[in-house]
Structure 1
């Protein structure tokens, strides 16, 4: 093997390796490499013990060939790798594939721990000088300091903005998290072991024990099936999502808010953030998103809401008992004393179903008396939810439970006021304040469940009603006719239909969903989102259905604009909606609009979608201001660049000015939930990033684009859309090429999520969901949906006038939106490799389609070259040396990215041959 091939032989001992890892002895990147070496070394030992020396040597040979190819991009090395893989029998292929997948996971874990360690060191030193803005995401303390010191904002102004802003993080269950929860938990334990190895005071015995723990978890992860053998149900997805609240988010929120208090004190504000300030809120789509998912039924929605309330009650229950131990004081306010005396006289029985404080609490412990009654009522609340979930009915009367969060907060607020009035504010500002903040944040259901349904399903219901009433076909009416009829019904009081309404299964499903909303407590729900919304009647129809199904506290109705044409028409649609007096009175000056990043990108390409999303937000805000409405933008972003993903801080700061008016909703897609909330420090960092960026955008908005920049973007967007659609939707060879060159068909067979990969089983590219569309191209490292259209747009305007190249460079240097857009595509190019796509063509694609593949790869190279010109870079990621170094160390040298696509190619070839 080549001299620069990494030596994978085991070092002499754990101590010898750990000496290389002592902080301060080696560089940050060396520590990353040696951590990876330690994990890889332990894994290879395990692999040899389980499968023998020969298979270990095959893994090493593949590893080294892959590393050589990644270093030199020599096609011969890729061919040699393919030759080795071809010789494997099916059993060994499975073990090899699993081995490299496992090695990739281990390398990722090593990188995550190293980044966390590096970040902590930077925070200690207050030094971010060597990090590019694309990777520096300020914490809340740094943001407050910059606003006051650098931007000359007054501390009081900053405090007022902060305590009145809201960030609502919406957890989704999109089929993007392919890693099983069993493995995620093992990875978390591995991260913990690695983090402990960084400790300076670690003893020899502890090193040995940690090494044993590492080996144990590495082997356990390797022996665990990576693939779900049965698809998860929506209830499974909900339980998995809610587990993050129990494990990290529950404690992470009060920890984050305490850091905010500290940061405020450091800028001269001696007040704490009010416990009921809505800085962070959580919502969910798990069990509520029924758009194209027939498995999300009204029964499922009911179950997940009740389950969430049970989970919340369990968390609160244990916390209340902790508070009962803590608040043992006898001195209290007269107000609390009177309440405690009344409760003590009315409660004479022992509660044998409690472990702690099961006997009657004496009157000289007034706080415990108050908290005891709170615990009793919470117990009944939990029991009612459990009984309803299990049997559909409950013996526990609703009046014995908490029906809203205000009832739960009131006795806690009483305790807080009493402690403060008696000179015990330090005690009040301890665990009790944390608990008040948790109750204010999570309510009685941990998260509020959004309901999402496609607009056509509501049209079907309305059509059935109008036909039953013999007044015509709603579906065939014009928009004006629909609005006129809907408003007349909304203004009247007569019921529209009774039990005799003819219902298909689909119509019954829609109506039963509204009945579930009416049945359950109002604080279980958030918004009702209409996907594929195009007109004001889409919103009015949902308002009418809520009334007809007796929803006492109607959900706010949120239109979702996704495709390019819908985004272009969205401002006019919103204006027509706001022009309706009945609707303006209904919304009380507040409206929410959701914009979709995934489907817009799939529809028109990333370039045109990004620009149209930017313009749509500007116009929507103008419409809202015209009617005196406060508009909250709900960003439906995915985790990958192709689905609108990117660094949180920059994603927020590159939004148009005035579009984040102290309120932001954003989806946290399932594949990034683990990255955001998998560990306590990740949760803490995520909350800081969102809060800090939202505050900064509001107080220091980004620059608006110059008129000439807008004109150039408009011109380029037309060209980019035309090229993208001409290839993806109009090129007759594309569909066949896509299905042969990528694992799109195999993705549809995987048990990743409860939702089907297509909206319509028999449809083509148009019906394929954005998620499998992006993931299929990612697996081949070609990333076509991310870059297609950029090259044609740049080439067109530069060829037209060379001065446009200078304007593009000016836009890159001065306009955050354009810079972020270019930087993200550049990062994707740094991860891409057209050589893998070429190998796919050779082994998987028919010869007649090879010229088409070559044309796409030529487009890839031309686009990359033009993008580098605009960024002023000679090499990819030249402007972000830290990220470039990470990719070099982790991806190109250790992740073996050619290895797994290589196995995919060989396996795909075998599947096609068998078929």
Structure 2
């Protein structure tokens, strides 16, 4: 968590006001003299670090609580240092009457304990009104910081909550008073300097730095409610129909009785869910953002969270966001949301605003990239229609990963390829941990990232995206069926696939290593279905075969062209004139440029059993055929013909990545077969001396189950290949 938050301290903190100044300049250049209001941040940040408990046993209620308090402590420290800088800067005596009256009142009633501050600040004369105001802000900010520190260290604090800042509006009010006074007195250049930047930082980051989203799997809420209904002896919630669940949930939501007491029998899992809601009730509401329900399938999933929030006395309930991930859930999402909107109680609860998250990772793992991309597009169209029908403003939350197989890609193109009317000035996206360095690692990268998101969101609203022609829709609807069948027939139905996947990739070793923030599987005993999308993509990326990205495209295009040769012209027209289809094809083309089937063949040769070698050859033939068809549709002779800069970059990286791939393949062979030895070529140099066996020289990781040095070598190759690919998992 500290590593993730460091991006705020190092780059985002300064990047936001710098970006806002550029927006002000852009507005002025087009003849708009007004700047973006100080209390209306263009961009806000949330985090899943410490809040995403979907299948992660390490994220406990205690972790969530500590992460929130640590974030509040960090932002208070940042504010504190800047307040002192402003006190040095705003030394003038001339001010508005409003500020003068406030400063006089504070000066007379001040009971400040000056021991916390350097000698210079012990006495602030009334002739320095801005410093008097800011000194009071500093004192209260100090109390706010210390209370968070005490709560984090000891669980309690002697500092009353009333002596701290309880909401960001209270913090902003004296700062805005100083700003108004400076401008009223003609000191506009001073007002629009550090103070304006600080106002914008406070509006953006609030008192919590980031709002923590909570994510939990829908099945965990079902377990809790099932335990409650059994305890009340009214049946098994899990066995009820969807209609029965909704009726019971709404009757409880409309009533006022407590649903359960301290006598509710609780397993460890049930206690974990309920304790999470108790943390939401305990901490200030501005610590939290949305409550995201992963694997959501029905309206009852949303109503269940609403009921649990109320029963656990969450003062300001979090907005509940269903996350539709698998292909079938995406297809059913519009009907589920329409059912929710038809409930009067729920419409009043959301105040005509609803956020819906769509998952790119699991939908791609479930049906392949082509089918997932098209279903995500159609689901958004239908969700927008439903929202318009009920007069609800819909905000789409795009759960994109860093790699193409999980919905990743260039930000600008990804946003512009969204369906019409699905953004409308508001967009929410995930920036995954594996690509956060590329987006926010340095101040100029942070600025460019904010610029890209803002520019693309505005452009999508001003330039209406191209809607697909009926014949384009019909063709795509037809070929995605073929694509899905091809993908599932290999990944889920082919009996040899699971064994081949585990032998031909470092998936098993990845799952045993301390890489990533969560276990690689939702259920330890499960197969491909329970494997998370990140290790699924990561494993294939390491071997540079990228199977989850391209599998299904070739069969779909081959079917379309074979059925009617004119379909090739239609597909080429779609590529040239429809941003969604063009971006989809371009991203797969980029993945082919990064791929190398000969490297995958090396992994097969060293790691795969002899009876599975023919299966690997079949997949590589499919790879080559798909690549050929893709180039035909794009009208390209070579990969990345339209992006020579990226093509050159990949060519430069290739030699280094290939070396790492060879090292990794042989390391995996040694790990799996300790008796295997690589025969070195004789050294040309006569000065070469025979070294002692590695076991005697290195013990890099004595706790490893592998031979000394092997695990460290494997991790280094994984990191190197991931860095070279720029898309990991």
Q: How big is each residue's C-alpha offset from its partner over 1:592-636, in whole Å with a ceiling of 9 and x where there is no partner?
A: 000001111000001100110111000001100000000000000
CA distance in 2, matches of 1:776, 1:348: 62
- Of the three residues 457, 462, 466, the one matched with 1:694 is 457
- Of the three residues 75, 82, 87, the one matched with 1:312 is 75
Q: Is the partner of 2:435 in helix, strand or coil? A: helix
Q: Check the 8 A contact 1:653/1:701 in 2, yes or no.
A: no
What pairs up with 1:383-394 in 2 under 5 angstroms? 383-394=146-157
Larger mean CA deviation between 697-706 and 803-812 belongs to 697-706
Partner of residue 541, structure 1: 304
CA distance in 2, matches of 1:559, 1:394: 36
Partner of residue 512, structure 2: 749
- Of the three residues 164, 167, 171, the one matched with 1:408 is 171
- Is 1:452 aligned with 2:212? no
CA distance in 1, matches of 2:591, 2:112: 66
CA distance in 2, matches of 1:839, 1:383: 58
For this pair of structures, how many residues does the alignment match? 675
Q: How big is each residue's C-alpha offset from its partner over 1:834-860, in whole Å with a ceiling of 9 and x where there is no partner?
A: 001111111111110011000000000
Partner of residue 711, structure 2: none
Partner of residue 648, structure 2: 885
CA distance in 2, matches of 1:714, 1:563: 17
- Is 1:480 aligned with 2:480? no
- Is 1:901 aligned with 2:667? no
Distance change in 2, residues 1:531/1:349 (3 Å): closer
Distance change in 2, residues 1:618/1:363 (3 Å): same
Partner of residue 31, structure 1: none
Partner of residue 434, structure 1: 197
Partner of residue 415, structure 2: 652
Q: How big is each residue's C-alpha offset from its partner over 1:311-362, in whole Å with a ceiling of 9 and x where there is no partner?
A: 0100000010010011111000111001100111112555121137431200
Q: Check the 8 A contact 2:545/2:596 in 1, yes or no.
A: yes
Q: Which contiguous aligned blocks of 4+ residues in structure 1 show a shift greater than 3 angstroms?
A: none
Partner of residue 360, structure 1: 123
Partner of residue 711, structure 1: 474
- Is 1:914 aligned with 2:681? no
Q: Is the partner of 1:698 in helix, strand or coil? A: helix
- Of the three residues 297, 303, 316, the one matched with 2:66 is 303
CA distance in 2, matches of 1:910, 1:391: 49
CA distance in 1, matches of 2:656, 2:217: 42
Q: How big is each residue's C-alpha offset from its partner over 1:458-483, in whole Å with a ceiling of 9 and x where there is no partner?
A: 00110111111111110000001000
Q: How big is each residue's C-alpha offset from its partner over 1:91-132, in whole Å with a ceiling of 9 and x where there is no partner?
A: xxxxxxxxxxxxxxxxxxxxxxxxxxxxxxxxxxxxxxxxxx
Distance change in 2, residues 1:287/1:356 (3 Å): farther
Q: How big is each residue's C-alpha offset from its partner over 1:676-730, in whole Å with a ceiling of 9 and x where there is no partner?
A: 1111101110110001101111111210100100111111110000000000000
Partner of residue 552, structure 2: 789
Partner of residue 525, structure 1: 288
Q: Is the partner of 2:114 in helix, strand or coil? A: coil
CA distance in 2, matches of 1:294, 1:357: 50
Q: Check the 8 A contact 2:292/2:322 in 1, yes or no.
A: yes
Partner of residue 678, structure 2: none
CA distance in 2, matches of 1:813, 1:569: 31
What pairs up with 1:219-618 in 2 under 5 angstroms? 238-349=1-112, 351-355=114-118, 357-618=120-381
- Is 1:815 aligned with 2:583? no
What pairs up with 1:840-851 in 2 under 5 angstroms? 840-851=603-614
Which structure has more RCO (C-alpha within 8 Å, separation ≥ 6)? Answer: 1
Partner of residue 638, structure 2: 875
Partner of residue 392, structure 2: 629
CA distance in 2, matches of 1:733, 1:620: 39
Q: Is the partner of 1:565 in helix, strand or coil? A: helix
TM normalised by structure 1 equals 0.73
Report the alpha carbon displacement of residue 905 of structure 1 after superposing the two structures with TM. Answer: 1.1
Partner of residue 865, structure 1: 628
Q: Check the 8 A contact 1:348/1:360 in 2, yes or no.
A: no
What pairs up with 1:44-83 in 2 under 5 angstroms? none
Q: How big is each residue's C-alpha offset from its partner over 1:370-396, in whole Å with a ceiling of 9 and x where there is no partner?
A: 000000000000000000010000010
Q: Check the 8 A contact 2:487/2:552 in 1, yes or no.
A: yes
CA distance in 1, matches of 2:119, 2:190: 22
Partner of residue 699, structure 2: none
Q: How big is each residue's C-alpha offset from its partner over 1:664-685, in whole Å with a ceiling of 9 and x where there is no partner?
A: 1100100111111111101110
Q: Check the 8 A contact 2:221/2:304 in 1, yes or no.
A: yes
CA distance in 1, matches of 2:7, 2:312: 34
Partner of residue 595, structure 2: 832
Partner of residue 110, structure 1: none
Q: Check the 8 A contact 2:396/2:427 in 1, yes or no.
A: yes
Report the alpha carbon displacement of residue 914 of structure 1 after superposing the two structures with TM. Answer: 2.6
- Is 1:805 aligned with 2:568? yes
Report the alpha carbon displacement of residue 267 of structure 1 after superposing the two structures with TM. Answer: 0.9
Report the alpha carbon displacement of residue 886 of structure 1 after superposing the two structures with TM. Answer: 2.4
CA distance in 2, matches of 1:315, 1:753: 29
Q: Is the partner of 2:434 in helix, strand or coil? A: helix
Report the alpha carbon displacement of residue 515 of structure 1 after superposing the two structures with TM. Answer: 0.5
Q: Check the 8 A contact 1:595/1:633 in 2, yes or no.
A: yes
Q: Is the partner of 1:497 in helix, strand or coil? A: coil
CA distance in 1, matches of 2:200, 2:636: 48
Report the alpha carbon displacement of residue 885 of structure 1 after superposing the two structures with TM. Answer: 2.3
- Is 1:683 aligned with 2:478? no
Report the alpha carbon displacement of residue 907 of structure 1 after superposing the two structures with TM. Answer: 1.2
Q: Check the 8 A contact 1:344/1:363 in 2, yes or no.
A: yes
Q: Check the 8 A contact 1:465/1:497 in 2, yes or no.
A: yes
TM normalised by structure 2 equals 0.92
Q: How big is each residue's C-alpha offset from its partner over 1:169-205, in whole Å with a ceiling of 9 and x where there is no partner?
A: xxxxxxxxxxxxxxxxxxxxxxxxxxxxxxxxxxxxx
CA distance in 1, matches of 2:49, 2:415: 24
Q: Is the partner of 1:639 in helix, strand or coil? A: coil
Report the alpha carbon displacement of residue 913 of structure 1 after superposing the two structures with TM. Answer: 1.4
Q: How big is each residue's C-alpha offset from its partner over 1:209-244, in whole Å with a ceiling of 9 and x where there is no partner?
A: xxxxxxxxxxxxxxxxxxxxxxxxxxxxx1111111
Q: How big is each residue's C-alpha offset from its partner over 1:415-454, in whole Å with a ceiling of 9 and x where there is no partner?
A: 0111111111111111100000000000001000000000
Partner of residue 231, structure 1: none
CA distance in 2, matches of 1:655, 1:579: 27
CA distance in 1, matches of 2:375, 2:72: 40
CA distance in 1, matches of 2:89, 2:570: 64
Gaps of 5+ in 1: 1-237
Q: Is the partner of 2:74 in helix, strand or coil? A: helix
Q: Check the 8 A contact 1:352/1:358 in 2, yes or no.
A: no
CA distance in 2, matches of 1:356, 1:590: 51
CA distance in 1, matches of 2:476, 2:409: 21
Q: Is the partner of 1:551 in helix, strand or coil? A: coil
Report the alpha carbon displacement of residue 754 of structure 1 after superposing the two structures with TM. Answer: 3.2
Gaps of 5+ in 2: 676-729
